Amino acid sequence: MSRLEQVKQSLDSAGQAHVLRFWSELSEEQQEGFLQDLVLLDLQALKEHCEAACRAAAAPNSCTLDPDMEPVPPEITGSARSDPEVLTRWEDQGLLQISKNRVAVLLLAGGQGTRLGVPYPKGMYDVGLPSRKTLYQIQAERIHKVQELADRRHSSKCTIPWYIMTSEFTLTPTQTFFKENNFFNLEPSDIIMFEQRMIPTVTFDGKVILESKGKIAMAPDGNGGLYQALVDHKVLEDMEQRGVEYVHVYCVDNILVKMADPVFIGFCVSRGADCGAKVVEKVHPAEPVGVVCRVRGLPQVVEYSEVRPETAQLRGPEGELVYRAGNICNHFFSRTFLQDVAEKFKDDLKQHAALKKVPYVDSCGNQLKPAEPNGIKMEKFVFDVFPFSRNFVVFEVIRKDEFSPLKNADGAALDTPTTVRTSLMDQHRRWVCAAGASLLDGDGNEIGARISESTDPVKCEISPLVSYFGEGLELLKGTKLQTPLILDEKTTKVLLGQRGSGQI
């Protein structure tokens, strides 16, 4: 039996014979490419995949978890508001682990910038900072800086490997972008890119969607596809060879993310944790973020849509929300825990259905772009491994210091280039003021305290190569700095020279 006959038979068995509807209209080259794609699909599991997608999309959103929910207990929770001596101990522990090459960062970058409205990966996006730096450059420079901090503290020469999970959509442009930017002066061998799997999108009546006459519409399998991808590309073996014991996992779109945050790493290591989550306090009960809590005694993220309003509105004795631990996709994993997940649990992760607008060809071969969701994308979530943890911890951070995601184009209410740019510049303004410096406007007048929601934020940007989390800015004390300000390594050297010569 030929490959084509085998594929036809498998598609028929799965109830997906329509996939080859336009076969005779394809060129020989197109037929060969399409056939190769189909052979790579798990056609034996295709029927179950399509049926599962329909079941998941049709299932009512029942709020059945409320009776089994409880907030995370204080004994497994740390906070960025802890006593400064405690924070310093955690930071010391984190920098020690980094100095011993035991820490890696892992970036989840498989999604497309659809809501942002760009045809390239989000990490390549320039949010409009005075420096015009992209998200990738900011993150690369933070890796540089935290390595430097660890080296200075422990007289070491350390490396933080940067693992980047891409998808079929983002791998090639990401590789090209890094090469064009000289890998942001990181060692190319320490940046490891790998692809997550792609799976077919499905109509509401259980049919695989054709993107074109010779191509199935595919989508990444969600950030929870990480665990299968670690196996597919032998990433855990690479980590073991490098001596990595702890991994900081994060999403590409958070402009305030602290790469390999030594305080978070140190907190988790000091608690002997195999899995940890950073959280922020929800701004209001209905904020659309998942809640880190316990369900039937096990740690879990419960989606905001799965919680009854009366449960979300519960308050504690001090007026605080009972379920306030908002998930920000910023996690700690031990390598041994990731190994356990890869070997024992990855196939048990729940499949979630997302309804999407998927471009398609209709039965007449017309290319169409739907105005409303027409397809089901099945995905797994990275946090769905929390229940498998033996020692789970939570670390609450301050939103304005650590969480400002880029999701939407300007014009939306939240999470836009304008809001994330403002968040970063406002953070840097606070750092400058805390160091004892003054900022001047265009007329030479001192700028008073401004809130981050200002429609006219102070243009103040500090390179991560100068300061990772506000440290090392003592040279600014007593200075008056003109805005817009870009405090980079060159500017810092000038200021040091002026201070040394007594000019400031």
Q: Is residue 4 predicted with pLDDT exceeding 50?
A: yes
| Residue-by-residue DSSP string for 7-30 | HHHHHHHTT-GGGGTTGGGS-HHH
**Based on the number of CB atoms within 10 Å of its own CB, is 166 exposed (0-12), middle (13-18) or buried (19 or more)?**
buried
Sign of torsion, CA 421 327 402 161? negative
Name every residue whose Cβ is closer than 8 Å to that of residue 89 and which is 6 or more positions away in sequence. Answer: 266, 270
Q: What is the pLDDT of residues 317-346, one digit of tens each?
A: 999 999 999 999 999 999 999 999 999 999
Q: What is the pLDDT of residues 88-110, one digit of tens each?
A: 999 999 999 999 999 999 999 98
How far, in Å, CA of 236 to CA of 27, rounded?
41
Q: What is the pLDDT of residues 137-151, one digit of tens each?
A: 999 999 999 999 999
Rounded average pLDDT over 254-277: 98
**Could you give the residue ranges of the DSSP H alpha helices within 341-438?**
399-402, 417-434
Rounded average pLDDT over 384-388: 97
Q: Is residue 452 predicted with pLDDT exceeding 70?
A: no
Q: Is residue 501 predicted with pLDDT exceeding 60?
A: no
Q: What whole-number percentage of the chain has pLDDT above 90?
A: 84
- Quick one: pLDDT at residue 347? 87
Domains and CATH numbers, the chain: 66-402 (3.90.550.10), 417-500 (2.10.10.100)
- Quick one: pLDDT at residue 448? 65
Q: What is the pLDDT of residues 63-75, one digit of tens each?
A: 568 889 999 999 9
Q: Is residue 453 predicted with pLDDT exceeding 50?
A: no
Rounded average pLDDT over 415-433: 96
Containing 275, the helix (H) or strand (E) segment is strand 275-281
| Residue-by-residue DSSP string for 140-204 | HHHHHHHHHHHHHHHT------EEEEE-TTTHHHHHHHHHHTGGGGS-GGGEEEEEPPEEE-B-T
How far, in Å, CA of 35 to CA of 27, rounded?
12
Three-state DSSP class for residue 397: strand
Q: Is residue 366 predicted with pLDDT exceeding 70?
A: yes
Q: How confident is the model at residue 57 (pLDDT cuts 50, 70, 90)?
A: confident
- Quick one: pLDDT at residue 196? 96
How far, in Å, CA of 235 to CA of 143, rounded?
20
Q: At what angle do helices 262-270 and 84-99 cross, to 10 degrees?
A: 90
Q: What is the pLDDT of residues 480-491, one digit of tens each?
A: 999 999 999 988
Q: What is the pLDDT of residues 156-184, one digit of tens each?
A: 999 999 999 999 999 999 999 999 999 99
Q: Is residue 31 predicted with pLDDT exceeding 80?
A: yes
Q: In the chain, how long is the greatest CA-to-CA distance?
A: 86
Task: Please give the DSSP secondary-structure letter assigned to residue 380.
Answer: -
Q: Is residue 262 predicted with pLDDT exceeding 70?
A: yes
Containing 494, the helix (H) or strand (E) segment is helix 489-500
- Quick one: pLDDT at residue 451? 45
Q: How confident is the model at residue 502 (pLDDT cuts 50, 70, 90)?
A: low
Q: Is residue 127 predicted with pLDDT exceeding 50?
A: yes
Does this model's pTM top 0.85? My answer is yes
Tokens of residue 456, six digits: 């006219």
Residue with tokens 């029927």: 47
- Quick one: pLDDT at residue 295? 96
Rounded average pLDDT over 379-407: 97
Q: Are strands 77-79 and 218-220 parallel, antiparallel or unpaired?
A: unpaired
- Quick one: pLDDT at residue 496? 74
Containing 136, the helix (H) or strand (E) segment is helix 135-154
Q: Of 290, 395, 254, which is closest to residue 332 (Cα–Cα)?
A: 395
Asked whether 382 and 333 are in contact (CB, 8 A), the reply is no
How far, in Å, CA of 222 to CA of 53, rounded?
14
